[in-house]
Amino acid sequence: MGDQLNSPLLPALVDRFGRSITYLRVSVTDRCDFRCVYCMSEHMSFLPRRELLTLEELDRICTAFVARGVRKLRITGGEPLVRKNIMWLFEALARHLQSGQLDELTLTTNGSQLKRFAKELKAASVERINVSLDTLQPDRFRAITRWGDIGTVMEGLDAADAAGLKVKINAVALKGTNEDEIGDLITFAHGRGYDLTLIETMPLGEIDGARHDQYLPLSIVRARLLDRWTLEDIPHQTGGPARYVRVRETGGRLGFITPMTHNFCESCNRVRLTCTGTLYMCLGQEDAVDLREPLRAGSSDAALHAAIDEAMLLKPKGHDFVIDRRAGRPAVARHMSVTGG
């Protein structure tokens, strides 16, 4: 494993707009055991396994970023917990928490495998996890995820609680699908002591339906919630794009991620690594640098760091998301499961 952390010569990562890059999201697989309607088409073709970075290569790249000042790593996908031997990566990366160079190692999961992995994740120093859950109704859950079973996810949440993992629920607000259930999701999440974050659908990748049929602006959701709840602005900052309020009636936190209605790019501190080693500088733009080739070019990390430096020059000022009824194609061709949500 790389020991570049001892090198005093590696400068911290800052882009052309003066934004410090301190957060890396890493997609460890494009595969998934669900087929959520807003994320994938039912018949996805996945990458050949040889295209994927090995777990050792993922560790080497993450370690290079930690050496450059990244303080937070999020493991995602696809479904990260379906990647074979994934616990090896968590256990390996935990050394950076122990050395104090990393503040947080976390993951985003659909919860299907949590029952099996919750304890091991906690043992690998993962403290908080994001679990995606768009509905509490079994039939709806099946309709949204196509292949998922809500009972398994609920067991996963129980296992996460029992292991002492702190959970945040992410729910995508979907027009005509779960828009009548947002209040129930608040009651559920806050009742279990979880934060809840609502997300707008983003135009990423070809799916089977039309995006504009799914898109529900959170400004509308928020206005509707005011009929029933008191939302109090709070300064809570997670270093992410969510704006938080406290729901007075539950005492819980509710976040809104509004890439479509609100532009949060000016404070963006993150970059994303795909499971094939491409570093994307923005979820909503094509600017990217291949890290796999320089990684495989030799055992020293010099070429890798040079590629990371080159990438910093490419980070765009912001995304150009638009869900256009007429365009009929996604703003960005790659799926969220490739770039890592």
What letter represents residue 336's amino acid? M
User: Which partner in ligand SF4, ligand SAM, none is near 169 (CB below 5 to 8 A by kind)?
Assistant: none
Q: Do the Cβ atoms of 95 and 135 come closer than 8 Å?
A: no
From candidates 24, 28, 39, 311, binder to ligand SAM by CB under 6 A: 39
Task: Return the structure tokens found at 42.
Answer: 């039912």
> Judged by CB under 6 A, does residue 32 bind ligand SF4?
yes
Q: Which of the residues 61 through 120 are near ligand SAM (CB under 6 A)? A: 76-77, 79, 108-110
Site string for ligand SAM, 274-313 (x = CB under 6 A): ----------------------------------------
User: Which partner in ligand SAM, ligand SF4, none is near 202 (CB below 5 to 8 A by kind)?
Assistant: ligand SAM
3-state secondary structure 148-173: CCHHHHHHHHHHHHHHCCEEEEEEEC
Q: State the burial class of residue 218 (Cβ atoms within 10 Å of its Cβ: 0-12, 13-18, 19+).
A: buried
> Judged by CB under 6 A, does residue 337 bind ligand SF4?
yes
Q: Which of the residues 69 through 98 are near ligand SF4 (CB under 6 A)? A: 77-79
In degrees and rounded to multiples of 5, residue 255 shows phi and psi of -110, 150
Contact range with ligand SAM by CB under 6 A, out of 67-75, 150-158, 201-209, 222-230: 201-209
Task: Return the structure tokens found at 334.
Answer: 């790659």
* Smaller CB separation from ligand SF4, 49 or 326: 49
Q: Do the Cβ atoms of 183 and 199 come closer than 8 Å?
A: no
> Judged by CB under 6 A, does residue 170 bind ligand SAM?
yes
State how far the alpha carbon of 185 is from the alpha carbons of 160, 181, 327, in Å: 18, 6, 33
Distance between CA 327 and CA 340 in Å, rounded?
24
Task: Return the structure tokens found at 6.
Answer: 């001892």
Least distance from ligand SF4 to the Cβ atom of residue 109, Å: 8
Q: State the burial class of residue 11 (Cβ atoms within 10 Å of its Cβ: 0-12, 13-18, 19+).
A: exposed
> Judged by CB under 6 A, does residue 182 bind ligand SAM?
no
Q: Do the Cβ atoms of 55 and 275 come closer than 8 Å?
A: no
Helices then strands, each counted (H, E), the chain? 11, 12
Site string for ligand SF4, 34-53 (x = CB under 6 A): xxx--xx-------------
Nearest alpha carbon to residue 134 among 144, 121, 122, 146? 144
Least distance from ligand SF4 to the Cβ atom of residue 206, Å: 13
> Judged by CB under 6 A, does residue 145 bind ligand SAM?
no
Q: State the burial class of residue 171 (Cβ atoms within 10 Å of its Cβ: 0-12, 13-18, 19+).
A: buried
User: Which partner in ligand SAM, ligand SF4, none is near 35 (CB below 5 to 8 A by kind)?
Assistant: ligand SF4
* Smaller CB separation from ligand SF4, 39 or 102: 39
> Judged by CB under 6 A, does residue 134 bind ligand SF4?
no
Nearest alpha carbon to residue 252 among 182, 207, 194? 194
From candidates 28, 121, 291, 336, binder to ligand SAM by CB under 6 A: 336
> Judged by CB under 6 A, does residue 218 bind ligand SAM?
no
Residues of this chain that interact with ligand SF4 (CB under 6 A) are: 32, 34-36, 39-40, 77-79, 110, 132, 337
Residues of this chain that interact with ligand SAM (CB under 6 A) are: 32, 38-39, 76-77, 79, 108-110, 132, 170, 172, 199, 201-202, 204, 336-337, 341
